Amino acid sequence: MKIVFGLYEPDPGSAECGVYLNGRKSKIRNPQDAMNLGIGMVQQHFALVENLTALDNIILGQEPMKRFNVIDRAFAKNKLQGLVSESLKVPLEANVEDLQVGVHQRVELLKLLYRDSEILILDEPTAVLTPQEIDDLFSFLRDLRKEGKTVLIITHKLDELLALCDDVTVLRQGSVKAQLSRDQLTKEALVKAMTGRSIEKFIKPTFQPGAEALVIQNLTTSAGTEERLKEVCLSVRQGETVGIAGVEGNGQSTLVECLLGLTSYIGHIQFNGQPYPHKTKEIREVLNVGYVSEDRQTQSLWLSGTLEENCAIGFGNRLARYGVLSKSTLHHHAEEMLKGFDVKYDHLEQKISELSGGNQQKLVVARELKGRDPRFLLCCHPTRGVDVGAIELIHQRLVEFQKNQGAVLLISSELEELLSLSDRLLVMYQGRIVLEQTRENFDLKSIGSAMLGGQP
Amino acid sequence: MGIMDTQLSSVTEWLASGVRMAIPLLFAAYGGLLTERSGIANIALEAYLLMSSYTAAAVMAITHNLYLAISAGMLAAVLTAGIFGFLTVKVKADQIVAGMAVNILVMGILPVTSNALFSVSGQTPTLSLNERIEQTWPFVAIGILLIFVTHWMFAKTRLGLRIWAAGENPDALAAQGVLPKSVRWKAVLLGGLVTSIGGIYLSIGAGSGYTRNMSAGRGYIALAALIFGKWKPIPTAIGCLLFGLADALQMILQSVSIFADGSPLPTQFVQMIPYVLTILVLAGFVGKVSAPKSLNTP
């Protein structure tokens, strides 16, 4: 898709291959070419300038002009008002940083409409949205379809495909595995095409949780921190998974930072009846807390390092002899650790950056679970942006860990994941826990509205 | 004259002197503002100032033509900005290292050329009174105009919007089909042009010819004023005035008797004032920094 949008250039191939538009072969060398052809794309990571207004973000690159290089904002506003239906209302004068993620998405969509795009490409558009916002988005996309626009949506969520799409093309490892039209579209067929085998619906067995492991009482952070926590109380038992749902930016990262000793706080945290340490070194090395970070590329891995080296991160003291890490120790350690985690690699001295996201993530989970063997795992977005096969494996390993009386605090933006793994689910909104439900009482509707700050 | 009058006149003298001191800072800070808003961290302002003040004075000494001197001063700073732009925008070198390299380069070039032209190392011949721009008001007027034009540019114009976006999120700009590189080039060259006026003021406005290290760190102080102003036009101008006043205070205090025997404070301490202020500002005295988000990322 990035080729279609002109961000990447395709490798030169034979004369017939290339991008065809309405039957004509089109040369797209950069995003400008694509936009001129009526192709627009919303990327998975929004391309917005945070401290500009929504309006400025929309017109950026195609500003209507008056004399002296002055932007005709009134004209742009008029044009947008003509385009915007009720379902796509955006406060145009507000700064983007003050708007919610769901609104960011609408700003991105407006960018495309403002440019009169006929083909709209959306890359994982629902990754950051709440269920209600997803519904809004889909009804809007259906409206667009009625108006004759072409919508191309990239997703790994099967329900979305079933709900929205006329045609589905399944890609796996760079080649087309299946093309399904509306009447052939079933969940089973899709899963089979995506994984090459069928995956049974994953139902988590229930375990009997043990004593309380992690207890957090009245956790509050000072005003200086960006996402403040306000009197957060929660507990995780041994052999229990507690999920935290919420729109990103409602205090989840601050909670993680507190538990890693990266932010100071008021309140009490206990682990197995003992006070929880404040220093990161003690938390990770003495208490041995496992941590799967929300962004594997910047926080969990050393991207220019090899697999072996990445497997050894955090275990330097344990693996070194007289301060020296020997090649064979690293090799042996990595080999041992990756067993059972199905990480696909050529050799262990390969650069980690050559691995797919799913394989990188499996390595991280292997390191934090098998390499570390913790009693408590702080697990953030464990399956963000990874394929179905990797999700299955990671979920299995998390459940195994819980079965062995491990405690898991799971933070995720994937509601489906939270619902299938959590024994209890908490919803965070503006730094507070606003809702708690146990597995048997999960109610998607009240969870969704609590995420947006409504009454459960 | 009563004692009230003396006090009043010394206050107005201080203010006037402060404004004069703020002039080169303002132009340099605005040069920095333009460059840094586009995402290029610019510590080469010092080089722009040195280069333009030297070139203007040198061309004046040779041709005795004011307009040639001013144009040459501007061109010199724009060329220096071109070198800096080549390093930072074109080949994407580390911006701080590139800025340092340009500073060192200019510090080396000036003594060599002055030696070749005038057989003195690191300065130009003294200019006579009618070879200088004696009045201050043209610079003050241009400065005030610059404040408003810059403010207007960021608020209203396409170039302003794009420079802003290039400094905050160049990927967003690229995704809209605008090359961040070309925006940054414009901003860097414009920054050189604006800064050059400050350099010209130093050598043929306030001074009578170029003297060794004429800018005396003003490029860095301007950067501090820029940070003080949180990269916004009007607060940055206020920052420049503040530093200008500190500089003026320093000069006045050098001649004021403080001790019983009538001697002033040791000059070494007094002269520290603007630099101490700079350190305080840079050390985060101004609170939460709100730099352009993509500053110093190629």
Q: Which of residues 117-156 of B touch A (CB under 8 A)?
A: 156
CB contact at 8 A, B218 and B198? yes
Q: Is the Cα torsion angle B86, B87, B89, B90 positive or negative in sign? A: positive
CA gap A209, A240 in Å, rounded: 5
In sequence order, the β-bridge partners of residue A232 are A219
| Whether A68 and B157 lie within 8 Å, measured CB to CB | yes
| Whether B165 and A49 lie within 8 Å, measured CB to CB | yes
What is the percentage of chain B residues whose pLDDT exceeds 70? 95
Q: Is pLDDT at A304 greater than 60 in this prediction?
A: yes
Model pTM? 0.73
Is residue B293 domain-resident?
A: no
CA gap B241, B247 in Å, rounded: 10
ipTM of predicted complex: 0.79
Mind giving me the DSSP string for A201-233?
PP-PPP----SEEEEEEEEE--TTSSS---SEE
CA gap A368, A364 in Å, rounded: 6
| Whether A60 and B162 lie within 8 Å, measured CB to CB | yes
CA gap B51, B78 in Å, rounded: 10
CA gap A421, A395 in Å, rounded: 8
| pLDDT tens-digit readout, A379-400 | 999 988 787 788 889 999 999 9
Q: Helix (H, G, I), strand (E, B), or coil: what is residue A286?
A: helix
CA gap A421, A416 in Å, rounded: 9
Instruction: Tell whether B8 is within 8 A of chain A (Cβ).
Output: no
- In chain A, the residue whose alpha carbon lies closest to the alpha carbon of B171 is A47
Q: Report, in this order, helix, strand and coil percent for chain B, each rounded to 5.
A: 75, 0, 25
User: What single letter denotes the amino acid at residue B96?
Assistant: I
Backbone angles phi, psi at A291, to 5 degrees: -145, 115
| pLDDT tens-digit readout, A404-450 | 999 999 999 888 889 889 999 999 988 899 999 998 888 888 888 88
- In chain B, the residue whose alpha carbon lies closest to the alpha carbon of A34 is B177
| pLDDT tens-digit readout, B139-159 | 999 999 999 999 999 999 999
Enumerate residues 6+ apart whose C-beta is below 8 A from B221.
B25, B243, B274, B275, B278
- H or E element that contains B269: helix B267-271
Which residue range forms the structural domain that includes residue B135? 3-285
| Whether B177 and A31 lie within 8 Å, measured CB to CB | yes
> Which whole number is the average pLDDT over B273-294?
73
| pLDDT tens-digit readout, B38-70 | 999 999 999 999 999 999 999 999 998 999 999
What pLDDT band is residue B286 in, cutting at 50, 70 and 90? low
What pLDDT band is residue B264 in, cutting at 50, 70 and 90? confident
- In chain B, the residue whose alpha carbon lies closest to the alpha carbon of A5 is B175
Check residue A184 and give its pLDDT: 76
In the numeric block, the tokens 């080089």 are attached to: B47
- In chain A, the residue whose alpha carbon lies closest to the alpha carbon of B168 is A49
CA gap B142, B205 in Å, rounded: 13
Closest by Cα among A378, A176, A138 to A258? A378
Distance from B276 to chain A by nearest Cα, in Å? 27
Helices (H), A115-242: 131-146, 158-164, 187-195
Question: How is residue B212 annotated by DSSP?
Answer: T
- In chain B, the residue whose alpha carbon lies closest to the alpha carbon of A226 is B288
Q: Helix (H, G, I), strand (E, B), or coil: what is residue A14?
A: coil
Distance from B170 to chain A by nearest Cα, in Å? 9
What pLDDT band is residue A132 in, cutting at 50, 70 and 90? confident
CA gap A233, A230 in Å, rounded: 9
| pLDDT tens-digit readout, A335-370 | 999 988 888 888 898 899 888 888 999 999 999 998
| Whether B161 and A63 lie within 8 Å, measured CB to CB | yes
Instruction: Tell whether B282 is within 8 A of chain A (Cβ).
Output: no
CB contact at 8 A, B8 and B125? no
Closest by Cα among B222, B194, B192 to B80? B192
| Whether B173 and A61 lie within 8 Å, measured CB to CB | yes
Is residue B163 domain-resident?
A: yes
- In chain A, the residue whose alpha carbon lies closest to the alpha carbon of B162 is A60
Q: Is the Cα torsion angle A228, A230, A235, A240 positive or negative in sign? A: negative
Is residue B292 domain-resident?
A: no
What is the percentage of chain A residues whose pLDDT exceeds 90? 24
| pLDDT tens-digit readout, A142-196 | 888 888 888 888 877 777 777 778 888 887 666 777 777 777 777 777 777 776 6
Question: How is residue A276 annotated by DSSP?
Answer: P
CA gap A331, A196 in Å, rounded: 31
Backbone angles phi, psi at A264, to 5 degrees: -85, 155
Q: What angle do CA A232, A237, A239 make, to 5 degrees?
A: 140
> Which whole number is the average pLDDT over B258-287?
76
In sequence order, the β-bridge partners of residue A428 are A433
Is residue B14 domain-resident?
A: yes
What is the number of other CB atoms lying within 10 angstroms of the CB of residue B47? 31
CB contact at 8 A, B209 and B127? yes
Q: In total, how many domains does chain B have?
A: 1
Write out chain A residues lying below 8 Å of B161, CB-based. 52, 56, 60, 63, 71
In the numeric block, the tokens 């890490």 are attached to: A325
> Which whole number is the average pLDDT over A243-266?
89
Is residue B23 domain-resident?
A: yes
CA gap A400, B97 in Å, rounded: 51
What pLDDT band is residue A226 in, cutting at 50, 70 and 90? low
| Whether B177 and A51 lie within 8 Å, measured CB to CB | no
CB contact at 8 A, A301 and A364? yes
Check residue A242 and give its pLDDT: 94
CA gap A352, A302 in Å, rounded: 8
Q: Is pLDDT at B288 greater than 80 in this prediction?
A: no
Write out chain B residues lying below 8 Å of A31, CB-based. 174-177
Q: What angle do CA A412, A418, A421 make, to 5 degrees?
A: 125
Pairing of strands A432-438, A424-429: antiparallel
| Whether A49 and B174 lie within 8 Å, measured CB to CB | no
Q: Is pLDDT at A9 greater than 70 in this prediction?
A: no
Chains A, B: CB contacts within 8 A come to 64
- In chain A, the residue whose alpha carbon lies closest to the alpha carbon of B287 is A224
- In chain B, the residue whose alpha carbon lies closest to the alpha carbon of A46 is B172
Q: Which of residues 38-67 of B touch A (CB under 8 A)?
A: none
Question: How is residue B177 annotated by DSSP?
Answer: T
Instruction: Tell whether B265 is within 8 A of chain A (Cβ).
Output: no
A314 Rama sector, left if φ>0, alpha if ψ -120 to 50, beta otherwise: left
Residue B139 CA: distances (Å) to CA of A381, B133, B142, B198, B200? 57, 9, 5, 9, 10
Find the CB nearest B165 among A35, A60, A69: A60
Is residue B133 domain-resident?
A: yes
Q: Is pLDDT at A14 greater than 70 in this prediction?
A: no
Q: Which domains does chain A have, with CATH numbers?
A: 38-165 (3.40.50.300), 202-289+374-456 (3.40.50.300), 301-370 (no CATH)
Instruction: Tell whether B92 is within 8 A of chain A (Cβ).
Output: no
Enumerate residues 6+ apart whose C-beta is below 8 A from B155.
none
| Whether B176 and A48 lie within 8 Å, measured CB to CB | no
Check residue A84 and give its pLDDT: 67
Write out chain B residues lying below 8 Å of A71, CB-based. 156-158, 161
Distance from A66 to chain B by nearest Cα, in Å? 9
Write out chain A residues lying below 8 Å of B173, CB-based. 49, 60-61
Check residue B1 and give its pLDDT: 46
Q: Is pLDDT at B171 greater than 90 in this prediction?
A: no
| pLDDT tens-digit readout, A45-74 | 788 888 888 888 888 888 888 888 888 888
Q: Report, in this order, helix, strand and coil percent for chain A, each rounded to 5.
A: 40, 20, 40
Residue A328 CA: distances (Å) to CA of A192, A306, A334, A351, B250? 40, 14, 10, 17, 65
CA gap B26, B22 in Å, rounded: 6
Q: Is pLDDT at A137 greater than 70 in this prediction?
A: yes
CB contact at 8 A, B103 and B46? yes
Q: Is pLDDT at A288 greater than 60 in this prediction?
A: yes
Check residue A23 and give its pLDDT: 65
Check residue B127 and give its pLDDT: 84
Q: Is pLDDT at A87 greater than 60 in this prediction?
A: no
CB contact at 8 A, B125 and B61? yes
Lowest mean pLDDT among A202-216, A410-424, B71-85, B100-114: A202-216
Domain CATH number, residue B63: 1.10.3470
Q: Is pLDDT at B262 greater than 80 in this prediction?
A: no
Average pLDDT, chain A: 83
Is residue B174 domain-resident?
A: yes
Closest by Cα among A389, A375, A433, A8 to A177? A389
In the numeric block, the tokens 């309006």 are attached to: A55
Lowest mean pLDDT among A274-283, A383-392, B165-174, B235-244: A383-392
| Whether B156 and A71 lie within 8 Å, measured CB to CB | yes
| pLDDT tens-digit readout, B8-29 | 677 888 899 899 999 999 999 9
What b/e readout covers A127-157, taking b as 16+ CB neighbours within 10 angstroms? Answer: bbbbbebbebbbebbeebeeeebebbbebee
Lowest mean pLDDT among A159-163, A290-294, A333-337, B202-206: A159-163
